[in-house]
A and B are shown apart, each in its own frame.
Chain A
Amino acid sequence: MEKRLPTIEINEKYCKGCHICVEFCPTRVFEMKGFIATVKNQEACIECMQCELRCPDFAIKVLP
């Protein structure tokens, strides 16, 4: 069965590029694109919600 992927939304208007999501995602889903975080490895997401919890700027939502 194909793995169902969560949607990881980054609100670019809110992101301030602090690197917290990049460093604390256990499966390295994010990378920086200039000053803004982007999703690089959506397939690797294990829906632990760490990024949504830790982002100081309310910029990340992980939706099933």
Chain B
Amino acid sequence: MSFDYEKYIRPGKLPHIWCPGCGHGIVMKGLIRAMDALGMKKNNTAIVSGIGCASRLPGYIDCCTLHTTHGRAVAFATGIKMAKPEMQVLCVGGDGDGVAIGGNHFIHACRRNINITYLIMNNNIYGMTGGQFSPTTPTGAKASTTPYGNPDPPFDIAKLAIGAGATFVARGTAYHANQIEKLLVEAIRHKGFSVVEILDSCPTTYGRRNRFRSVVEMMNNLKEIAVSVQAAEHMSPEQMQGKVLTGVLYRDNRPEYVEEYQKVIEAAQDFAG
């Protein structure tokens, strides 16, 4: 069945600004299908972003949206969720926005377990500003600021989220387009801080510096390296070399922050009489 994406897009906003083959468009389509599958109401849904190519996403979607400053999406989203707990609040952005400049907000939102879904489009680079390396640029990869190869080891965003206390963590790729929707549906349904990392493609600033001749090669690479959690159970550590786990990686139940904070408000009101 053909899907009518444009009913969720602000009139006149397409074509979007992303480059040919940029995976952000594929991810946005997955998010729109997830919103549709969940029957999310436009006036009860807030999508918040920081700065970057990925962070342009909320500008296209017809719901309550907020385009904030670099790295601060989670802080603004926390404010919205605290003031209006009945709203469904989502954060979206890139790896630079989320785990470089925004890394501190990110880990503390995980720790608090506030009921927000965070969609991170990880293209391993700062796309918008011309391809500087990010905390997820693989060791040895080239960026405008690492012309001889990146000496740093990268963050594993999913592991970082689990370690910091997020209660739902999943990973997909821009190649596995159907799965993006499924992971987001589960993440949005989950009560607590949920993180969905989508391995993405930036052919313009990452691909061309790193010997991907086309976006098709980048997509095929995502297909090759992804191993589902189920398939990985039957694979040895040697077979997992160079692969990344995809699917729902972690799920837990812990007290949710807005509810816990409500208890503080009630205790304070009791005390004040």
Contacts and interface: CB of A to CB of B under 8 A. Distances in A.
A20 B177 contact: no
Given A13-B15, A20-B21, A58 B6 contact: yes
Contacts of A14: 14-15
B25 A56 contact: yes
B206 to A, nearest CB: 15
Interface stretch (B88-96, B97-105, B136-144, B214-222): B214-222
B191 interface: no
B21 A58 contact: no
B29 A19 contact: no
Contacts of A56: 18, 20-26, 29
Nearest to A35: B20
Specify which of A17, A53, A63 lies most central, judged by the most chain B CB atoms within 10 Å of its CB.
A53
Nearest to A56: B25
A28 B20 CA distance: 20
Interface in A25-54: 49, 52-54
A63 B4 CA distance: 11
Contacts, number: 60
Given A19-B214, A57-B16, A52 B219 contact: no
A26 to B, nearest CB: 14
Nearest to B9: A58
Contacts of A24: 216, 219
B212 interface: no
A58 B29 contact: yes
Given A19-B214, A20-B216, A57 B25 contact: yes
Given A14-B15, A16-B15, A18-B21, A58 B5 contact: yes
A64 B3 CA distance: 12
B2 A53 contact: no
A21 to B, nearest CB: 10
B20 A18 contact: yes
B265 interface: no
A56 B53 CA distance: 14
B25 A17 contact: no
Contacts of B214: 19
Interface in B1-41: 1-3, 5-6, 9, 14-16, 18-26, 29
A49 B29 CA distance: 14
Given A19-B214, A23-B216, A57-B16, A63 B2 contact: yes
A58 B219 CA distance: 17
B177 A54 contact: yes
B178 interface: yes
18 contacts: A13-B15, A14-B15, A16-B15, A16-B20, A17-B20, A19-B215, A20-B216, A23-B216, A24-B216, A53-B29, A56-B18, A56-B20, A56-B23, A56-B25, A57-B25, A58-B9, A63-B2, A64-B2
Nearest 8 Cβ contacts at the A-B interface: A56-B25, A18-B21, A16-B20, A18-B20, A23-B216, A14-B15, A53-B177, A56-B26
Interface of B: 1-3, 5-6, 9, 14-16, 18-26, 29, 177-178, 214-216, 219
